[in-house]
Structure 1
Amino acid sequence: MSDDADLREAVRRLESEVDALHRRLDALEEATDREPTDRPSDPVASEAETGPSTDAPPPTDAEAARPTGPPGDESTATPESTAGGWTQVGDTQESGRDWELAVGVRWLGLLGALALVVGVVFFVRLAIERGMLGPLGRVAAGTVGGLALLAVGRYAATRRGYVRWGRIASGAGLAVAYFSIYAAYGFASYREAIGTPLWAALAAMTLLVGATAAVSIRDRAPLVAGEAFLFGYVTAYLSTEATTLVLTPTYALLLAGGLVAIAAVRSWSGLVVASVFATYAVVGFWLLDLDPPSWGVAVVTGATFLLYLAGSYALRRYDRFDDPLFRGGLVALTVSNGLFAALLLEISLLGLFAEPLVEGAGTVLVGLALAVFYALTDRPSVLHRHAGVPGRRDGTAAATSVVLLAVGLGQALGPFWTTVAGLAVVCLAVGLSAVDDAPAFRTGAHVVAVGVAGKILVFDAGDLAGFDAAEPLAALTGRPVAFALGVAVFYGLARWFAVREGSLHDAERSRKITVSAPYAAAATVIAVVGLGLELSGVGISVAWALFGVALLAVGLAGDRRGVRLLGVGVLGLATAKVFLFDTRGLDTVARTLSFLVLGAVLLAASYGYARTRADVDLGIDLPGGK
């Protein structure tokens, strides 16, 4: 029996050791997964990039700086390889070495590249002043020198392991070569001396940009690729000098399409997001400089919008949603694409149709397109189901579609009906989110609700007509009805969210505050302001006091602490008005009535609390009490 017990004990020890090893392995894998690999917005991330596959990966700058030697040679051993107290010293030396490399390689390299580019500019100026070489010789020298530096930088990054320095040198070489080619046409004296046509300069710059971008994608160098595409957009802007209307939008669409294609093989979300602004900016300059036909603007806008929807879909295949920069980039991509497309489509439709009723149609169309895009990506397609890949739901598209739909209707309607339409869009989005289990529509509804509440309080309060006994029908489209609708809808939504709190996602049902509370608070504020605008004098005090006690009664009857607190707040506001303003601004009769009503209401509220909340110990010891 003792042998069996020893055996079982040994097996348990082995199992515990294996579990410990598994835990350590999982921790190492998580640490490795958290390391950035393809983050174009962070220059430090490029140090982890590698070139084309070789027999062994090239060493990094830090590894190349370390001394090497045969195994067992302690003179060349790094502090990390020794035991005992050397580990902490090694960590300190390694962190110091990293800081030194960051300054010595990155910042000195960047400053050197900038100084080199500025030096080339001054060289061109000096060459012009002193007649050195000829215009063609200067352009050729600058282009060849830039290409040589570009090649040397790529060789250093991909073959020698000096990734940071190589990327910086490549970027400097690209800039020198690009501006040298640009000088052949951009400088009037060079253009006249060489006779450079615009198409030749555009073709040369396009060839340089395209080749550099292709090589950078192969080398996994997002910064160099981003610089190449930046020069590509500069070239697209320069193409507006051409007499044709087709060249500039075609060039911009080709650049956008290239970046979307890159998104299918590289998770460089930063480049795609930045290109949204660049592409729409080029289209905007094309619109301002060349005055293209409205139908052409609509076609280019639609094509650009669809391209970036495809780019957003392609980026969602990467499992990087734990990265806040990547997740934020996807949000910015969808929102900026929708806003720019709505603006340009609105301009083009107003040019095509002169009737005022069409105003806002472009914004509504983009909103509907985003909703359809969300519906198509909300569920896995047949291909995805067979491949075992989940659908790439774009919740930002759904939320943005709700906002654009409300904005478009507001553009087409008047002040009163804009409020009505906004409230209807909020209700529609909330209902749709419940029917189709699509919380993203609810997020858009929250945004629109904030806008509608602000419009009611800021604009409708002054722009819409108040109640007039001489023209009572005018109040149907005036301020009283707008405020009443806002109060009814927001209280109704607060009740809806309170009943369905369990079906909301975590952000909407926080432990501190639920999503129903802001809606109830907004309805209360709108009601208080509306009563203050429609009534005057003692009427305001009486109305506020009755409204507060009504809220308190509802909260006590339904055991809803939030509603009770709102009622107490309104009663406090009524009390402050009576004591601070009514005592001085009202006559004796009105002042007396104000105090009597307030006193009765407060006593009734106190009685209600005492009767329904008798189980609560207030900690008050009355004289003579037990």
Structure 2
Amino acid sequence: MSSPHIDEIRRLKAELASAKQTIDRVGQGLNQLELQMGQQSPAPPRQPVTGPVAAPTPAAPTPVAQAVPVMRPQLPPPTQPPSALVAWWQRESTIVRVLGIAGAIVTLIGLVLLLVLAVQQNWFTPTLRVVLGTALSVGLVALAWRLRATERRAGRSGGSAVALAATGHAGLYLVVLAITQLYHWVSTPVGLALAGVVAIAGIATAVKWQSEQMAIIQVVAIGLLAFPLAQSPGLAAAFVVIMAVGLAPAHLRTWPRLGVVNFVTAGFVLLTATSAFGTRPHEALLLTVVCAAFYLAGIGFSVADARRRRATASGVVAAIASGLPWLAVAWDHGTATAVVLLLVAVVIGFAAFVLTPRDRTDGDGFGWATMVTPTLAVLVLVTRLPGSWDYPAATLLAAATVFVLVAGVLRAEPVAGAGAVLSATGLLSLLPLLLSSFSRDDMADQPWVPVLVTGLLAAVWAGSALWTVSRLARMQSARSASLVLAVLLGLLGLMLASVATGVGVGRSIGDEDAGFTSGHAIGTIVWMLAAAILLVRGLKRAEHADLGVKLALGLAAVAVAKLFLYDLAALDGIWRGAAFVVVGLLLLGLGIGYAKALERAKAAADGVTPRPPSALHGPPGSSPKPR
């Protein structure tokens, strides 16, 4: 037995001895406690034993140690645990929570109706209305604290106190709204400050009671109150963002659901505020600054969440929800400003992704979340660049190529996912251009340089995608499908580039039709050359040899089909004959190469190494060597 095994056995023996000593001490303590309880409680009466008793057989006296009798107290019979299948209306906590929430909602509606009726009927003076509303709200909050203390002494944790406190705080919000926008006693900034004080008091109550539900109610109330109280999209957005940033430490530590509600509420308020961007140009700067601060705060919170532990729902939602208002406000700006803001969003997202150390054992939720905003920013950027609407495929494929290459360098699947989204969008926008390349009239109306650039970018994207897939470990299962897709799209891009080049050359010499036909003939020949290259590589390499051969034969079949179904009718003159001759020669070469490969494979299977002809016949003038 090796030394490590002996050390392990000794360590386990030591732990076992320590555990035994601990169990002995616990047992002695329990015995002493039972003796003390037995001395305090009266001993149960002994029942007399009736009936004949057999006389014991005399035997040699043997000293036996008498055991000390242990008086065990009579414990109450164990109660049956509540069944998990008890109906919801038979559960005390559920009934209390439902009734408390219903009561809070009804009370709040009653307060609003009374306030509206008092204003319509001119009941009391405004000062008396505000005083009565404040007194009622404060009384509800005080009653909630008293009820909470009673529940804690009774060992209950119902939701009645939370519902009462939430109703009281809602009444205080209504009071603040009344003195700010109804009676105009205070200015809007002062009213927002008073609402912030009420919100801070509610959050402090939630922290004291350890009630996440109470904190969520405060967050939702802030979001609902922002626009009626501020009467300004910029001020409402600023108020909500300040409260959201202030609440971040609370849900970073213990309340993840509060984080989700917090950032979703703030993001919704900011998106609503940006919808008024065009009607209030004087607030453009304020909205831009607020959205920038919210995006930085969301990314910062998500980074802190990822550094502390694995990415949680609140961190993921913060990274996504904080970026959407930034994109919305960038869309509303002019072209130059929008491009700058969108590029900044891309840089911030990539910086957070690269520079944040985190645990990626079970996936990278933080990385996927931080890539959402850069991906959407690139899509928005394509729509804002001058002239990008005419040829969006070129811009999208260029951006997708950059993302795919970065994913290969970093070996990062989230970046590859962002590149896949951009690639899919770019390839969809490439389809109309590919279809138009088969029509003489459509190509006559197209400027050939953008079409040439788009085709070359498609080919470059295909090579980048193949390289990146080979470097990503988790994408090896999809490597075959990626190889087929990349090769086909790359060859389509090369055909598009060859047609555009032919059209450009034809225009320069005054014969555009000849240029169109030559471009398609060259495209077909390029397809056959690619099939030959794939076949040679597939036969020489054991890895993916079957896929390479199948892909080469399939590509050769597609090239021949194009030759007979399209080129035979669309092409004319020397280019049609040249296409058939070159493709036929390449097919013969493919057949000869494939036959030799099969011969080598058969010889290898039989264990015979095929010799070249010089080894069979020897030098000139000598007799052949016997086999």
Structure-1-length-normalised TM-score: 0.62
User: Does the 8 Å contact 2:100/2:164 carry over to 1?
Assistant: no
- More displaced, 225-234 or 169-178? 169-178
**Aligned-partner Cα distance in 2 for 1:308–1:151:** 34
Structure 1 position 227 matched with structure 2 position 200: no
Equivalent position SS for 2:282: coil
Instruction: Quote the residue 2:615 is aligned against.
Output: none
TM-superposed deviation, 1:363: 0.5
Provide the C-alpha distance between the structure 2 equivalents of 1:575 and 1:330, rounded to a whole number of angstroms: 54
In the alignment, which residue of structure 1 is the partner of 2:133?
Answer: 139
Assess, with a 3 A threshold, how the Cα gap between structure 1 residues 72 and 610 changes in structure 2: closer, same or farther: farther
Deviation string for 1:280-319 (max 9, x for gaps)?
A: 2364267456432544443333322222222222322442
Deviation of the 1:463 alpha carbon: 8.5
CA contact (8 A) 1:490 1:520 kept: no
Deviation at 1:235, TM superposition (A): 3.3
Report the RMSD for the aligned CA atoms in angstroms. Answer: 5.5
Partner of 2:248: 260
For 1:417-456, list aligned pairs within 5 A.
Answer: 419-433=393-407, 435=409, 440-456=414-430
Partner of 2:508: none
Q: Distance in 2 between matches of 1:566 and 1:238?
A: 64
Taking the aligned partners of 1:170 and 1:429, their CA distance within structure 2 comes to 53
- Kindly tell me: are residues 319 and 72 of structure 1, through their superposed partners in 2, closer, same or farther at Cα, counting changes over 3 Å? farther
Distance 1:279 1:258, change over 3 A: farther
Show the 5 A alignment for 1:156-305. 160-166=154-160, 169-170=163-164, 172-174=166-168, 176-178=170-172, 180-181=174-175, 184=178, 191=182, 202-241=192-231, 247-268=235-256, 269-281=259-271, 283-284=273-274, 287=277, 290-305=280-295
Instruction: Give the unaligned 5+ runs of structure 1.
Output: 1-7, 22-69, 81-89, 351-355, 381-390, 617-626
Q: 2:325 aligns with which of 340, 347, 358?
A: 340
Structure-1 residue corresponding to 2:387:
414
297 and 141 in structure 1: CA distance in 2 versus 1, 3 angstrom threshold: closer
Cα offsets for 1:578-616 (capped at 9, x unmatched): 99x78x9999x9x99999999999998788666646769
> Judging changes above 3 Å, is the alpha-carbon distance between structure 1 residues 155 and 609 closer, same or farther for their aligned structure 2 residues?
farther
The percent identity for this pair of structures is 18
Measure, in 2, the Cα distance between the counterparts of 1:407 and 1:240. Answer: 30
Which amino acid is 1:347 matched to?
D
Tell me if structure 2 keeps the 8 A contact 1:334–1:397.
yes
AA aligned to 1:411 is R
Q: Deviations over 1:337-382 (max 9, x none)?
A: 233213314534x2xxxxx5555222112212223334443599xx
Tell me the alpha carbon deviations over residues 415-443 of structure 1, each in whole angstroms, 9 at most, x when there is no partner.
47754454444444444455556554444
In structure 1, what is the equivalent of residue 303 of structure 2?
Answer: 313
CA distance in 2, matches of 1:286, 1:346: 13
Distance 2:354 2:375 in 1: 13
Deviations 1:368-421 (A, max 9, x none): 2223334443599xxxxxxxxxx9975643574366357536632534775445
Consecutive unaligned residues of structure 2, counting only runs of 5 or more, are 1-5, 20-71, 500-515, 603-627
Query: Is the 8 Å Cα contact of residues 273 and 332 (structure 1) preserved in structure 2?
Result: yes
**Alpha-carbon deviations, 1:167-191, whole Å to 9, x = none?**
65246524642464266358x9xx4
Residue 417 to residue 539, structure 1, CA distance change in 2 (3 Å):
closer
Correspondence for 2:503 = none
What does 1:458-497 correspond to in 2, within 5 Å?
A: 458=432, 460-461=433-434, 474-478=447-451, 480-497=452-469
Matched residues in 2 for 1:283 and 1:315: separation?
28
For residues 111 and 277 of structure 2, the distance between their equivalents in structure 1, rounded to whole angstroms, comes to 34
Aligned to 2:377: 404
For 2:431, the equivalent position in structure 1 comes to 457
Give the alignment's TM-score, normalised by structure 2: 0.62
**Alpha-carbon displacement from aligned partner over 1:146-182 (angstroms, at most 9, x marks no partner):** 4346435644665555435246524652464246426
Name the larger-Rg structure: 2
Report the Cα distance in structure 1 between the residues aligned to 2:529 and 2:158, rounded to whole angstroms: 68
Counterpart-to-counterpart distance in 2, 1:558 and 1:229: 62
2:370 aligned counterpart, secondary structure: helix
Distance (whole Å) between structure 1 residues aligned to residue 596 and residue 98 of structure 2: 73
